[in-house]
Structure 1
């Protein structure tokens, strides 16, 4: 039996309508849209006093192992890496504002990962997925599409901050913006012509144009693979369990935020990507959900041991799905590329944001389809769905979007007295969300 035949049998190519070449291209596409994390994550965690080179190696290692594990265990095209947002919370709030040493903060990440694992083994996370109504998941998928598009527009410099209006149109005379528009045109034309590798071709072509024209430049810092030892297994669990006296309720707050954001960010990403890949059953259930959630929990533990903040599923996986990825081989290819990048982690910056940004914009546009499944004429459906759809990109958080949507849905079901036995978990979740918002406000 040939290697291709073995892969086809192992990952069910026939059942999912794909082949080895498509899966490899999809994995490369996902990697290119995620590669920025290899440069950005060390820059953020470095501000917490962590050694930058070590974090770069840990980022590649954690992303590589987690993505390969997801592909092997769950057979879905879902890649993982240290999460944006959670790394900023780690660096600027936990270490910077609260004064928690970074080894103790890593210990908090490990404890949250173990808690995820226990919640998964107990079936709690699966119950949460089953309790959330279908129209909210459709809104999450569309919200993530808007989220990706907004990130892409911002990375391209086409949308910038404005003190008057919050955001506004960026300067179209900047080299990065011009390059991104060229990349967007290339990707859009290829997508319209049904070229399966359109996103990947667009990223590579735009990068080449940027380097050839001098519109982009990059100066990699000093780096050594051996630096991984400076963060690996350097976490301080004693500081977590004995830190209540020094940090008060702060440690509990840290653990809660890590748990909450990772839980609901992951659920939203997982549902959106599997829906886009056509892997959701006719009954709305996600096959192998247990394996996906289990892998996600293990990924956070691996990341903490390697020396990086919470590892989570990446919405950029949708780029690989759009390129045709339908099986775990896509995630494995992405993971292998991350492991290879460990040899020269900072060189991931050779792919400029202006090249990966158009890919996110295109994928975001194509993720709007689930919004047609929502009954926008029914207020009890439309209002929670809209709040979910709007809050995800505007608050830069999938978790916040789900929090608004679930709370609104519970309220609109409770008001006319339509809460059934199956809705009780949603009421509990809504109450927890209200407590969380009150906590954040204080």
Structure 2
């Protein structure tokens, strides 16, 4: 294990990697319940999607750990599941079987792009200031998700966002945030994991379990639930190739591709997971894993799989090798049978970790030359539009387009590569494909 995962080379230990794997799992485990709740609105059986979700999480994260050797969890993507349900099925009126076929074919496109290094070329075409800005933007995005999960930040028609009511659950979140911050400041190993466990335990004396609303009543759902394989191979891979479905396939390809690339870039820049050339470590294998996750999702009955930005929680807990992803993958597997147990962990338990991870992910933004405005302005737009639009993809799109525009009007056409122009073309196309 020491040699396979190169633990000494990465200045880590088995204990640290296990703690990091548990932390990453806790930060991403919400998808086991949330993904079925979204896709079931497309007419898919809740239990079937839950089983499919666990299968995607397990095999894809295991592949990321053993094949790509990166500490990144792979799971069905939030946003992608919303597009599947609300845009493809409910919006365009295609059946969920056809939508699953579109997921499958987008995965095949991913595999081809990855196998021939096209996705890697796209990644290498991202200017470094944009990489730094994307990392910071993802950090702000994760922080916003944490605050929203805790209902510390809520929607407000008058001001768009505002501070929520000070409820028992919000106070519990604040206590967990303070403790986790202290543990990190004191450099306590596993501080993020201890913070998650403390916040979960602190919620218990309130006399509440956690479901919907700020202070929900008891929501105990039992312990065991048998897996449901009813969605296995239910995709319609023939009708999903109709011309009317092509925009759906393209949207899956574009959104998943840039979400995963930006996630790899952001995590690599924030945690120094780079190779000798300064590029994200084992990037081709990581992208192949991401492509495998999407293809597998279509076969077993889920929306596309993608690398998870919440993996930053485990990375900040010390995870540096594929062992972190392997531990996370193994922790998903029992929930084929034990999914109801996840109702015990409230969203506020992982919220402090998500908020504080933002502190570490914004570090690369200091590498941007803010005096050079033709680079600073696109970097700034990419950074702020990711959380402001609640979309990594939108931040990427406008970051690229503004970069090209600024370089063009500044007369620095040598900074505009052919690969960048191709990316810009896809960015423009993506703006009109929903």
* Structure 2 counterpart SS, 1:91: helix
The residue that corresponds to 1:289 in the other structure is 283
| Mapped partners of 1:347, 1:95: distance in 2 | 30
The structure 2 residue matched to 1:267, chosen from 255, 261, 265, is 261
SS of corresponding position for 2:75: strand
- Give the deviation of 1:285 after TM superposition: 1.6
Change (3 A) 1:97 1:222: farther
Say which of 310, 334, 338 aligns to 2:332. Answer: 338
Tell me whether 1:49 sits opposite 2:43 in the alignment: yes
Give the structure 2 partner of residue 403 of structure 1.
397
Question: What is the TM-score when the length of structure 2 is the normalising length?
Answer: 0.95
Deviation track 1:297-345 (CA, whole Å, cap 9, x = no partner) reads 0111112111110000000000000000000000000000011221212
Which residue, 201, 205, 208 being the options, matches 1:212?
205
Q: Deviations over 1:132-189 (max 9, x none)?
A: 11110000110010000000000101100111121111111x2221111111011011
| 1:237 equivalent in structure 2 | 237
Report what 1:113 is aligned to: 107
Match of 1:176 in 2: 169
Greater helix content? 1
Given the alignment of the two structures, is residue 151 of structure 1 paired with residue 145 of structure 2, yes or no? yes
Contact 2:386 2:393 in 1 (8 A): yes
DSSP-derived class of the 1:160 partner: strand
Alignment correspondent of 1:191: 184
Q: Which residue of 1 aligns with 2:318?
A: 324
Tell me the secondary structure at the aligned position of residue 320 of structure 1.
Answer: helix
Q: In 2, Cα distance between the equivalents of 1:48 and 1:438?
A: 23
CA contact (8 A) 1:79 1:335 kept: yes
User: Mind listing any 5+ residue stretches in structure 2 that lack a counterpart?
Assistant: 211-218
- State the secondary structure of the residue aligned to 1:386: helix
| Structure-2 change in CA distance of 1:140 and 1:185 (3 Å) | same
Contact 1:57 1:342 in 2 (8 A): yes
Q: Distance in 2 between matches of 1:52 and 1:223?
A: 15
Structure 2 vs 1, CA of residues 51 and 222 (structure 1 numbering), >3 Å: closer, same or farther?
A: farther
Partner residue of 1:123?
117
What's the CA shift for 1:425? 1.5
2-side partners of 1:382 and 1:106: how far apart? 40
Match of 1:63, SS state, is helix
In 1, distance between residues paired with 2:136 and 2:385? 11
Q: Distance in 2 between matches of 1:16 and 1:92?
A: 43
Q: Are the aligned partners of 1:57 and 1:225 in contact in 2 as well (CA < 8 Å)?
A: no
Residue aligned with 1:237, SS? coil
Larger mean CA deviation between 408-417 and 334-343 belongs to 408-417
Report SS of the residue matched to 2:162. strand
> What do the CA deviations read for 1:37-86 (whole angstroms, capped 9, x no partner)?
11111111111111101111111111011001000001110111000001
1:286 alignment partner, SS class: coil
Residue 215 (structure 2) aligns with: none
| 2:73 and 2:328 in contact (8 A); partners too | yes
- Structure 2: distance between partners of 1:144 and 1:215: 32
Match of residue 193 from structure 2: 200
1:112–1:258 contact (8 Å) kept in structure 2: yes
Whether 1:59 and 2:53 are equivalent positions in the alignment is yes
- Cα shift at 1:349: 2.1
Do residues 69 (structure 1) and 51 (structure 2) align?
no
- Aligned partner of 1:225 in structure 2 is 226
Q: 1:99 to 1:222 in 2, by over 3 A?
A: farther
What runs of 5+ residues in structure 1 fail to find an aligned partner?
1-6
Please state whether the residue corresponding to 1:268 is helix, strand or coil: helix
Q: Structure 1 pair 44/158, CA: closer, same or farther in 2 (3 Å)?
A: same
1:212 is displaced (CA, Å) by 2.7
Q: Distance in 2 between matches of 1:305 and 1:169?
A: 42
Tell whether the 8 Å contact from 2:136 to 2:361 is kept in structure 1 after alignment: yes
**Cα RMSD after superposing both structures:** 1.5
